[in-house]
Amino acid sequence: MARISLLSLPLAAPSKGIAPRWAQLGQRLLPWLLPLTLFALWWLASRNHWMSEQILPTPALVWNSAVELAAGELWSHLAISLQRLFWGLLAGVSAGAILGASLGFSARAERLVFPTFSALAQVPTLAWIPLFMVFFGIGETLKLVVLVKAIVVPVTLHTLVGVRDAQPNLREAARVLRVPGHLLIRRLVLPAALPAFMAGVRLALAAGWTSLLAVELLASSEGIGYLMVWARQLFMLDIVFVCIVVIGVLGVVMDRGIGWLDRKWVHWPHPATAQIRRGPRYEGWQRLQPWLLPLLLLALWQAATQQGWVDPNILVSPWAVLQTILAGVLDGSLTTALGKSLGRALGGLLLGGSLGFAVGLWLGLSRRSERLLGPTLSALRQIAIFAWVPLLTAWFGLGELAKWVFIALAAFFPLFIATQRSVLNLSPQLREAAQVLRLNLWQRLRRLVLPGAASGIFAGLRLSLIYAWMGTLGAEYFMPSNGGIGSLMIGAQQLLRMDLIMSGMLLVGLTGATLNLFGQRLETRATRWRHA
């Protein structure tokens, strides 16, 4: 018996080491399970002709198209889009940094300029596109202006906050050390503001890339967006698939690249700076100063139209815009269009936001599920939202279903990411408390997980609400059927109805600001117990 046990010992020892190796291998292969499963279903569907090849091209056809496009045509269109993005980033980041630093250094400049800038920023970039198309045509100037508009807002806001919030400590240090002005900027202001500036550049890069694709889909004869529209019109969805993959890869590369620059340049400890905090309250005469610039702009606008400095077909008077709004409210055309858009936004938010919350909660609670689904969802998140438009319109048409799917997709990722991160960042002590109290899953969610993650979840809900509203405009631009404020603005652009375009922009901006305020109030009320 002893001899048998001795012989068995060498055989038993390796088996204990093999199990962990297989477990490690399984953990490494787990993220590939979902994409491989989806690829297998795609191959089976195309092989068995479950769907038409025009609707769902075969993997082999997509690969052949990728090889053909890589031979030359893809790179020419991609180079044009990247060149546009480069010049837009150069102009937008430079302008945003200068404007943000100027407002951050001067409290008076902030009082005079920032309220007007903030009000104009409430109008999404998409809502400006019909107006810019009338002003600048559909050439390269249009793309550059749209890019600068999308990029300058986040860069200005974050630079302003970085410079402004550093001022009290910098003034005190400068007075004590008697630091010259140029050293103050170089040694203190720039390091203090750089984290916020980089956060703004990161947001600006994503906003600029998304806006560029949107304007290329709407009005372009070159670029990766145009290539997708051309392929969609010919029902060559294999090319659309290739473009979506390329856009996703570029999204990953740009996000990783800006993250690498952030880590390389901002290598000192610093607080989170992505949150824009409110500035100081205005008192006395300061309360009137924010109104000076908008009143001056309105006066110049009215004078330009009255004196004929600008073609009235290009720039109508403020009074004409107000008359159009009043007439649209009285006859119901504007209110009906706005009501349809709001219904779509809220419906898409309910669909996409609910799914995002559920998936984020699931992945936040289950490490294995996160390893299984997380990498695939992270890769899909890098694909700019408007890259899905040609595919969705081919699959679902131009009706309500396609709009709802697109809006739900826009609302899904903000709430999914916020929920997952909030749950993952919960204190480990909560898990220990749940084990000690022997709480079941429902009790853990109700008493520990959801209250602890509530702040992040409601912040994600507010962001999803904004994205759903922006997605509604995009859906109505690219699927102009069954009404809506976006469809009305695109139609007005084709008819050169500048009064109607500006009326729609004003309503879109006011609605977006109202939704943002509603989201902030909801977040504050839902999490007020945390600050009590």
Tell me which DSSP letter residue 281 carries: P
- Residues 365, 260, single domain; the answer is no
- Residues 489, 411, single domain; the answer is yes
- Residues 256, 317, single domain; the answer is no
Q: How many helices (H) and strands (E) does the chain have?
A: 21, 0
Report whether 422 contacts 457 (CB < 8 A): yes
Q: Which two tokens stand for residue 293?
A: 């610039």
Report whether 348 contacts 411 (CB < 8 A): yes
How distant, in Å, are the alpha carbons of 37, 208, 236 from that of 259?
31, 16, 35
Task: Confirm whether 482 is domain-assigned.
Answer: yes
Q: Percent of the chain, pLDDT > 90? A: 21
Torsion angle, CA of 372/374/380/383, rounded to 10 degrees?
Answer: -150
- Helix H segments across 125-139? 125-136
For residue 375, what pLDDT is reported? Answer: 86
CA atoms within 13 A on the CB side of 426: 28
For every one of its 532 residues, what pLDDT tens digit does the chain have, with 9 covering 90 and above? 444 443 444 444 445 555 566 666 666 777 788 888 888 888 888 888 787 777 888 888 889 889 988 887 888 999 999 999 999 999 999 999 999 888 888 888 888 888 888 888 888 888 899 889 888 888 889 999 999 999 999 999 988 888 887 656 666 766 677 767 666 676 677 777 888 888 889 889 999 999 999 999 888 888 898 999 998 888 888 899 999 999 989 988 988 888 888 888 876 655 554 455 555 566 666 677 788 888 888 888 888 888 878 777 778 888 888 999 999 899 888 999 999 999 999 999 999 999 999 999 999 888 888 888 888 888 888 888 888 988 898 888 888 899 999 999 999 999 999 998 888 887 777 777 777 777 777 777 777 888 888 888 888 888 899 899 999 998 998 887 788 898 888 888 888 888 899 998 899 988 888 888 888 787 777 766 655 5
For residue 191, what pLDDT is reported? Answer: 77
- The three-class DSSP label of residue 448 is helix
Report whether 210 contacts 202 (CB < 8 A): no
Torsion sign (Cα): 296, 297, 300, 302 = negative
Q: What length does the chain have?
A: 532
Residues 330-351 pLDDT 10s? 988 899 999 999 999 999 999 9
Residues 6+ apart with CB under 8 A from 236: 65
- Residues 186, 318, single domain; the answer is no
- Residues 349, 248, single domain; the answer is no
Task: Confirm whether 8 is domain-assigned.
Answer: no
- Residues 261, 330, single domain; the answer is no
CA atoms within 13 A on the CB side of 433: 12
Q: Which two tokens stand for residue 408?
A: 């739900």
- CATH (domain of 107): 1.10.3720.10
Residues 6+ apart with CB under 8 A from 115: 290, 291, 293, 294
Residues 6+ apart with CB under 8 A from 129: 146, 214, 215, 218, 477
- Residues 379, 460, single domain; the answer is yes
Distance between CA atoms of residues 418 and 74, nearest Å: 35
- The three-class DSSP label of residue 372 is helix
Q: Which residue has the tokens 């679902």?
A: 396
- Residues 319, 457, single domain; the answer is yes
Task: Confirm whether 340 is domain-assigned.
Answer: yes
Closest CA relative to residue 273, chosen from 188, 187, 193: 193
Residues 362-405 pLDDT 10s? 998 888 888 888 888 888 888 888 889 888 988 888 888 999 99
pTM for the whole structure: 0.86
- Residues 174, 260, single domain; the answer is yes
Distance between CA atoms of residues 186 and 179, nearest Å: 11
Task: Confirm whether 18 is domain-assigned.
Answer: no
- Residues 253, 385, single domain; the answer is no
Closest CA relative to residue 125, chosen from 70, 65, 203, 178: 203
Closest CA relative to residue 254, chosen from 94, 383, 387, 143: 383
Note down the domain range covering 440: 312-532
3-state secondary structure 455-478: HHHHHHHHHHHHHHHHHHHHHHHH
CA atoms within 13 A on the CB side of 211: 29
Residues 355-364 pLDDT 10s? 999 999 999 8
- Residues 316, 241, single domain; the answer is no
Task: Confirm whether 21 is domain-assigned.
Answer: no
For residue 343, what pLDDT is reported? Answer: 92
Task: Confirm whether 165 is domain-assigned.
Answer: yes
Tell me which DSSP letter residue 445 carries: I
| Boundary-marking domain end, from 261, 292, 323 | 292
| Boundary-marking domain end, from 246, 261, 292 | 292
Task: Confirm whether 226 is domain-assigned.
Answer: yes
What total of structural domains would you count in the chain?
Answer: 2
C-alpha 91 chain-centroid distance = 20
| Boundary-marking domain end, from 262, 292, 322 | 292
Q: What DSSP element (H or E) covers 347?
A: helix 333-365
Distance between CA atoms of residues 490 and 471, nearest Å: 15
C-alpha 76 chain-centroid distance = 27
Distance between CA atoms of residues 452 and 527, nearest Å: 10
- Residues 512, 452, single domain; the answer is yes
How distant, in Å, are the alpha carbons of 95, 322, 497, 507 from that of 316?
28, 11, 9, 17
Tell me which DSSP letter residue 71 carries: T
Torsion sign (Cα): 128, 132, 133, 138 = negative
For residue 7, what pLDDT is reported? Answer: 41
For residue 4, what pLDDT is reported? Answer: 44
Report whether 371 contacts 420 (CB < 8 A): no
Task: Confirm whether 49 is domain-assigned.
Answer: no
For residue 49, what pLDDT is reported? Answer: 78
